[in-house]
Amino acid sequence: MALRLPQRSELWLFDCGEGTQHQFLRSELRLSQLRRVFISHMHGDHVFGLPGLLASLGLAGNSPGVEIYGPDQLENYLKGVITSSSSRISYPIKVHRVKDRATKNQIVFDDDDFLVTCCQLNHRVPAYAYRVEQKARRGRFNLELARELGIKPGPIYAALKQGENIQLEDGRIIQGKDFCGPDRPGTSIVYCTDTFFSESAIELARGADLLIHEATYAHEDADLAYQRKHSTSTMAAQTASEAGVGQLVLTHLSPRYAPGNRLTPNDLLNEAKAIFPNTLLAKDFLQIDIKPGCNSS
């Protein structure tokens, strides 16, 4: 799953299974924009594509660096593969262990625009869900009011947009707060796979605009879900419902539900929609504009 950040030429990747490079080539995404990778756990279908992706990015020679977040074993895994294959990485890579932060409810990443937190999931190996929160943005600037008061465009506008108080050449003191509307809330997305039903996932997803959640099994196969520590479609829907999210996307379905079998992906979708109506199935190259309500295309 790739996340394109608004107003930045920056791409974040969540998990990296085999074939990720091929999907990049088939998409409109630019690998050169990759800045952060968040790995949920060390099972191969979530991590086997990462060394090759990093090596290809190194061959391009135009990356300022990549920061990677994930389980404790991730750093040694990458070092082993890159060293053993004599791959040349021409840019800095920094690997962050998230275990302690997940158990202590600490922040994984924070800058002026975004906040990333995570929690531990209920899987056979250490696994983590991630939440990306866009911070509230300053309200819209009242351009008409500025013009009415005879304030000329320039650096003064920028200062007023930041809420600063400005003294004009004629002595008037203008308060920036009078020119900005209320702060605009940011959007949020939660990526949650692989896990059996998890109370910590509900808390992490609380009020998110979009929840991407695994649905490996149908409801009738709940015993398998318990044994293998995966979710059913109904568990994913229950998580979305209890967390009060805006939209749910189901992913990571078992091949046993391939079209033509007795149960198909649409059956899992309908199971989830019976609990949480605003649900859809993930598919290759699905694009979702993350905002309240979440529209997909």
pLDDT given at position 80: 97
pLDDT given at position 226: 97
Choose one of 121, 152, 179: the last residue of a domain. Answer: 179
pLDDT given at position 293: 54
Choose one of 65, 97, 129: the last residue of a domain. Answer: 97
* pTM for the structure as a whole: 0.87
Query: Mean pLDDT, to the nearest integer, of 109-116?
Result: 95
Confidence of residue 58 (pLDDT cuts 50, 70, 90): confident
Task: Say if residue 193's pLDDT is above 90.
Answer: yes
How does pLDDT run across 229-280, given as a tens digit for each residue?
999 999 999 999 999 999 999 999 999 999 899 999 999 999 999 999 999 9
Residues 149, 93, single domain; the answer is no
What CATH number did the domain enclosing 38 receive? 3.60.15.10
Residues 10, 64, single domain; the answer is yes
Task: Say if residue 206's pLDDT is above 90.
Answer: yes
Choose one of 97, 132, 167: the last residue of a domain. Answer: 97
Tell me if 238 is assigned to some domain. Answer: no
Residues 88, 15, single domain; the answer is yes
| Residue 219 CB coordination number (10 Å) | 19
Give the active site residues: 45
Q: How many domains would you assign to the chain?
A: 2
The HSE-up count of residue 1 (CA atoms within 13 Å, CB side) is 25
Judge if the upstream peptide bond of residue 194 is cis by omega within 30 degrees of 0. yes
Query: Mean pLDDT, to the nearest integer, of 113-122?
Result: 97
Query: Mean pLDDT, to the nearest integer, of 46-71?
Result: 92
Mean pLDDT of the chain: 92
* Boundaries of domain holding 152: 143-179
pLDDT given at position 140: 79
pLDDT > 70 fraction of the chain, expressed in percent and rounded: 98
pLDDT given at position 216: 98
In our burial notation (b when 16+ CB lie closer than 10 A, e otherwise), range 125-149 reads ebbbbbbbbbeeeeeebeeeebeee
Tell me if 79 is assigned to some domain. Answer: yes
Residues 151, 81, single domain; the answer is no
Task: Say if residue 297's pLDDT is above 60.
Answer: no
Tell me if 58 is assigned to some domain. Answer: yes
Query: Mean pLDDT, to the nearest integer, of 52-56?
Result: 93
Residues 9, 64, single domain; the answer is yes
Tell me if 264 is assigned to some domain. Answer: no
Query: Mean pLDDT, to the nearest integer, of 62-68?
Result: 93
Tell me if 4 is assigned to some domain. Answer: yes
Residues 85, 174, single domain; the answer is no
Residues 73, 147, single domain; the answer is no
Tell me if 31 is assigned to some domain. Answer: yes
Tell me if 48 is assigned to some domain. Answer: yes
Task: Say if residue 179's pLDDT is above 70.
Answer: yes
Tell me if 111 is assigned to some domain. Answer: no
Extended strands (E) in the chain: 2-4, 11-14, 34-38, 66-70, 93-97, 107-110, 114-120, 128-134, 165-167, 173-175, 188-192, 210-214, 247-251, 279-281, 288-289, 295-296
